[in-house]
Structure 1
Amino acid sequence: MRPTPADPAAWQAHLAEGNARQARKRVVADVLLRDVAGHVLLVNPTYKPGWDLPGGMAEANEPPEEAATRELREELGLSLTLCGLLVVDWVAPHGPWDDQIAFVFDGGTMDVRAAEMSLCDGELSEAAFVSQEAARGLLTDRLRNRFDAAMTSLRAGRAAYLHDGNPTW
């Protein structure tokens, strides 16, 4: 016999068991941040090859937008209010990694130079504002597609949904 809400303790245990068996997704929360000249901020992580948008992995039970602002604060000493959502990208399993959900939020425009930022926690070797074309050359294919979608979303005023960096509609 299955528990019912009429027995709250048994019902909560039943729900917890189901929750424990459901899939867990890794969540990435990045930020598209621009300077007053229209350049975009990229960071060079020490723990993987290539450049990336600033941001990082969400912690357990952390909302993606809070993960994005926390990562900017921890890694670059930046405190900012996000301006909206630009991209949601479902990333297929690759290498040793299961699938993940990647968010890109609009960080707006800041009157700050990369030299004025602090690389705070050792996870980044560099941070630089670069032209959009230079950014496209520094990012991997998967990230370049997500970056392009974020730039398109910024101009269009609506978020994009991607599968592995490719628009779904």
Structure 2
Amino acid sequence: MLLVNPTYKPGWDLPGGMAEANEPPDEALSRELKEELDLDITLQALLVVDWVPPHGPWDDQLAFIFDAGTLDDDRAVHLRPHDDELSEAAFVALARARELLGNRTRTRLNAALQAVQARRPLYLHDGRHVL
């Protein structure tokens, strides 16, 4: 599992980021992976949509998890952050990923794994299955 360590917040996260104005979520992910990790990817599937209610200073949001496929060994070995937003990028075992991720992201990751098994995307409300 590929995780990244952002410099602008504590803890590890899944690769990706925020969409810009009028940018579709899939294009936002592709852009973020190119900017941050110099990866050109082809998305395989939508796995999770999670509606997150307002919390702290943030308004509500939609969080997406996509299947971005598998990197070949050569690309994986040479993967490094390419901008100041990330201090590290690392491939870790699933159990370790679950330890490193915060609660919300861990819940989404678990739902994404369920979506792969179910062969359909899952819709969540703040981590709880709705559809």
* TM-score computed with the length of structure 1 as normaliser: 0.74
Query: How far apart are 1:108 and its partner, in Å?
Result: 1.0
Structure 2 SS opposite 1:70: helix
Assess if the C-alpha contact under 8 Å between 1:114 and 1:127 holds in 2.
no
* Aligned equivalent of 1:51: 12
Map of 1:53-132 to 2, 5 A cutoff? Answer: 53-112=14-73, 114-132=76-94
CA offsets per residue over residues 115-136 of structure 1, 9 Å max, x none? 4113111100010111111100
Identity score, percent: 65
Residues 104-157 of structure 1 show CA distances to partners (whole Å, capped at 9, x for unaligned) of 110111114654113111100010111111100001111100000011111211
2:106 corresponding residue in structure 1: 144
After superposition, the Cα gap between the structure-2 partners of 1:51 and 1:114, relative to the gap in structure 1 and judged at 3 Å, is farther
Q: Deviations over 1:9-32 (max 9, x none)?
A: xxxxxxxxxxxxxxxxxxxxxxxx
Higher-RCO chain (CA-CA 8 Å, sequence separation at least 6): 2
Name whichever structure is richer in strand by fraction.
1
- Distance (Å, rounded) in 1 between the aligned partners of 2:42 and 2:76: 18
Deviation at 1:160, TM superposition (A): 0.4
Unaligned runs of 5+ in 1: 1-39
4+ long deviations beyond 2 Å: 112-115
TM, length-normalised to structure 2: 0.95
Count of residues in Structure 1 that have an aligned counterpart in Structure 2: 130
Partner of 1:160: 122
What is the deviation of 1:89? 0.2
For structure 2, list consecutive stretches of 5 or more residues without a partner in the other structure: none
CA RMSD across the alignment: 1.1
Q: Residues 48-82 of structure 1, C-alpha deviation per residue, up to 9 Å, x if partnerless? A: 01111000000000010000000000000000100
Amino acid at match of 1:150: A
